[in-house]
Amino acid sequence: MFSSFMLNTWLAASLVAIAAGLAGFFVVVRGSTFAAHALPLGTFPGAAVAGLLGISSFWGLFGFAALGVILISRLADGQRHDVATALTLVTLLGLGTLFLSLSGQYAQSVFALLFGEVLGISSADLIPLAAATAAVSLLTATLFRPLLLSAISPDLAAAQRLNNRRLEILFLSIIALAAAMALPIVGALLVFSLMAGPPAAARALTARPDTAMALSAILALATVWSAIALSYVTSWPVGFFVGTLAAVCYAAGRGGRKPLLFLKKK
């Protein structure tokens, strides 16, 4: 389990967990779980495009993550982005079907992108992963107070001359960046688990926003580490354990302290 060929797996999963935990804190606070579910699914066409162009899949994923943010923000036009998110998801899924069929690797590519390929991470893949994690960490730290204030009270944020629309675009960019880097590791269907389960549990366990965000990353780390260990022992898919443990984490958090006042919306 700790042999040399597994080192990249542990490192990549840890980077993904940190990014997903930090971004997931704001996903839960801002009630944007649909966007956290849609953006990972919408980025998978980028991997097919990267295959056609002969470049690293990470760059294709990041490119389509940015495209998803642009489409959602443009279609929403400052309003609630539920419909815009749905339309963006449908558009990107359609493009994904086209690009995957052109790539000639349809079945295997879909399986890897939906459910992850944690054992297929190379040393070269760790570089963009580490850069993306650093970017997510820097953005969440820099925008922590504005994003939190705009989530709790948009009117108060506007009174303090914070541009809520710009903050929404930056928030979506953080989700997209975390989703793009997590997609090849845990898959599109399970990125949402890491962005929802551990952060929701952290929300219920501490009264301090900064501590809650840090705890969210810690719980996400514990989830992926446990999933890898259990997968190694049982030979069951890592994705199964990621999803199950994220759900257990959420249930345990709900069974603890009640959701905190600083995160409640009136």
Give every CB contact of residue 244 below 8 A, 6+ residues apart in sequence. none
Ordered by where they begin, the domains of the chain are 4-188 (1.10.3470.10)
Task: Determine how many CB atoms are found less than 10 A away from the CB of residue 34.
Answer: 15
Token pair recorded at residue 75: 């279609």
As a whole number of angstroms, the distance between CA 54 and CA 147 comes to 38
- The full DSSP string for 200-244 is HHHHHH-S-HHHHHHHHHHHHHHHHHHHHHHHHHH---HHHHHHH
Tokens of residue 1, six digits: 């389990």
Would you give per-residue pLDDT tens digits along the chain (266 residues)? 656 567 888 888 899 899 999 999 999 888 888 888 788 888 878 877 877 787 777 788 888 888 988 888 888 775 667 788 888 888 888 887 788 777 666 556 566 666 666 666 777 778 888 888 999 999 999 999 998 888 888 777 778 888 888 888 889 899 888 888 777 777 776 778 888 889 989 988 887 888 999 999 999 999 999 988 898 888 887 878 888 998 888 888 776 555 444 444 44
CA pair distance 167, 149, nearest whole angstrom: 10
